[in-house]
């Protein structure tokens, strides 16, 4: 495993050999964040394919037995506006992979998609987050989440914050509706905003496979993309496997 500081302040790149090492390293970070907080822990999950291996790993005996499930709460950073049992639903994927096997139902916090519109779903989830947090303003001294998991899309989006969409510039709202996606699946989305996602002790990107190399190169070059703007008020880590790492990555 090689670690280096990226050109971006407070962002660290950790390189691992392959996708299974990446899932294991991510699971270790999940555990570290849980152990660091002896009280109620809040973890914000992500959708897409990148975290699936991590989620399945957490459900295996070796990891499952280490997690104090009763005190860990699981949120989701963005949702596709499809029914809760649709295979495209991000929380459905996480539930199937590990949450329904391990976590108390009351600790699972999906974005409701049976509301009339993505915007209504966003207001609903924002008020759920605010009630969990106990305030409607984020306090820089008190992060909303212990850990936020993230992925990056081929266009540099993260969560459902797509390049040049107004949602990326949102500074007040915690959650917004996104009427149309920039990439597949082309369904409306609901997404946490950069301030809400950034209110965390650690933001952990999982970046895996050769298809991610081009976008990772652009991010490492400091291009202004939603994924490069997503930053924790604490630590931001890009966990990257060698297939995704640019060939000329020096480890700076
Ligand atoms: C979603 C995600 C999205 C995802 C990236 C990466 O709803 O699709 O939350 O932001 O993390 O698109 O997706 P992959 O892991 O599938 O490459």
Atom of ligand 1 nearest to the CA of 150: 11
Strand partners of residue 139: 142
Cα atoms in the Cβ-side hemisphere of radius 13 Å centred on 142: 9
Contact 239, 20 (CB under 8 A): no
Which residues form ligand 1's pocket by a CB distance below 6 Å? 46-50, 78, 80, 90, 151-153, 157-160
pLDDT in tens, the chain (252 residues): 444 444 455 689 999 999 999 999 999 999 999 999 999 999 999 999 999 999 999 999 999 999 999 999 999 999 999 999 999 999 999 999 999 999 999 999 999 999 999 999 999 999 999 999 999 999 999 999 999 999 999 999 999 999 999 999 999 999 999 999 999 999 999 999 999 999 999 999 999 999 999 999 999 898 999 999 999 999 999 999 999 999 888 764
From the CA of 215, how far away is ligand 1's center (Å)? 13
Whole-angstrom Cα distance, residue 158 to residue 150?
Answer: 7
Residue nearest to ligand 1 atom 13, measured at CA = 48
Strands (E) in 17-158, as ranges, are 41-45, 72-76, 78-80, 145-150
Predicted TM-score (pTM) of this structure: 0.96
From the CA of 165, how far away is ligand 1's center (Å)? 16
Residue nearest to ligand 1 atom 12, measured at CA = 153
Contact 227, 183 (CB under 8 A): no
Reading the block at residue 236, the tokens are: 């931001």
Backbone angles phi, psi at 176, to 5 degrees: -135, 160
From the CA of 72, how far away is ligand 1's center (Å)? 23
Backbone angles phi, psi at 121, to 5 degrees: -60, -40
Burial class of residue 48 (count of CB atoms within 10 Å of its CB; 0-12, 13-18, 19+): middle
The Cα-based distances of 180 to 45, 48, 80, 205 in angstroms read: 21, 17, 10, 24
């Amino acid at each position: 495993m090689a670690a280096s500081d990226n050109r971006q302040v407070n962002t660290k790149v950790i390189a691992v050999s392959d996708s299974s090492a990446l899932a294991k390293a991510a699971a270790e970070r999940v555990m570290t964040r849980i152990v660091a907080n002896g009280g109620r822990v809040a973890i914000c999950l992500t959708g897409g394919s990148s975290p699936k291996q991590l989620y399945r790993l957490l459900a295996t005996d070796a990891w499952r037995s280490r997690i104090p499930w009763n005190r860990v709460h699981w949120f989701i950073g963005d949702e596709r506006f499809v029914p809760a049992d649709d295979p495209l639903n991000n929380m459905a994927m996480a539930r199937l992979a590990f949450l329904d096997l391990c976590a108390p139902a009351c600790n699972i916090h999906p974005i409701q998609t049976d509301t009339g519109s993505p915007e209504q779903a966003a207001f609903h989830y924002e008020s759920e987050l605010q009630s969990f947090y106990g305030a409607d303003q984020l306090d820089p001294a008190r992060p909303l989440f212990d850990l936020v998991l993230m992925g990056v899309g081929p266009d540099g989006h993260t969560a459902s914050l797509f390049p040049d969409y107004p949602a990326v510039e949102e500074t007040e709202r915690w959650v917004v509706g996104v009427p149309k996606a920039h990439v597949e699946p082309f369904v409306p989305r609901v997404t946490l905003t950069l301030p809400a996602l950034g209110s965390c002790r650690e933001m952990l990107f999982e970046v895996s496979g050769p298809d991610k190399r081009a976008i990772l190169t652009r991010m490492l070059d400091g291009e202004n993309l939603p994924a490069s703007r997503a930053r924790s008020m604490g630590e931001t880590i890009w966990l990257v496997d060698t297939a995704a790492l640019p060939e000329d990555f020096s480890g700076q």
